Amino acid sequence: MPKVISASEAKSKFGSLRKWAVEQQDEVIVEVHGAPEVVLMEYAKYQEYQRLREDERRRQAWAAVETLRHEVSALNETLRPEEAYRLAGFSEAVIEETLRKDQELAGDST
């Protein structure tokens, strides 16, 4: 269980608090005027916290990308391939050739 102390006590007992945090593998919560302000913790635990925070940041970013992908897909459900190629800036000749190759690959030579 974390140890909770005042800032003035932390100032006067920093060395022993640091040692306690490492030996107990627990945190020391430092309060200022009764409100938590900082935490003293073992560096390995801090690294783990940073890793978990980064994992969560990546998970949230991936979820945002997936949401956007679904929104774009929904908007483009009726977009025909030639319209997509035009929006991408392809010339008409490139569009025709690409559509022809797409049909060949699909086995549809109409």
Q: What residues form DSSP beta bridges with 5?
A: 30
The predicted-structure confidence for 32-69, as pLDDT tens digits, reads as follows 999 999 999 999 999 999 999 999 999 999 999 999 98
Residues 54 and 35 in one domain: no
The domain total for the chain is 2
Q: Could you tell me which of 64, 98, 68, 66 has the C-alpha nearest to residue 81?
A: 98
Residues 53 and 101 in one domain: yes
Residues 80 and 65 in one domain: yes
Ordered alpha helix ranges (H), 25-91: 43-75, 81-87
Residues 62 and 12 in one domain: no
27: containing domain:
3-41
> In a 10 Å sphere around its CB, with 0-12 CB exposed, 13-18 middle and 19+ buried, how is residue 98 labelled?
middle
Average pLDDT value for the chain: 92
Q: What's the pLDDT score for residue 110?
A: 54
Task: Identify the CATH number of the domain in which residue 33 sits.
Answer: 3.40.1620.10
Q: What's the pLDDT score for residue 108?
A: 64
- Residue 69 carries which side chain, given as an amino acid letter? R
- Which residue has better confidence, 108 or 15? 15
Residues 51 and 100 in one domain: yes
On whether the pTM is more than 0.75, the answer is: no
Residues 91 and 57 in one domain: yes
Residues 54 and 15 in one domain: no
Q: How many angstroms separate the CA atoms of 76 and 83, rounded?
A: 10
The predicted-structure confidence for 90-103, as pLDDT tens digits, reads as follows 999 999 999 999 89
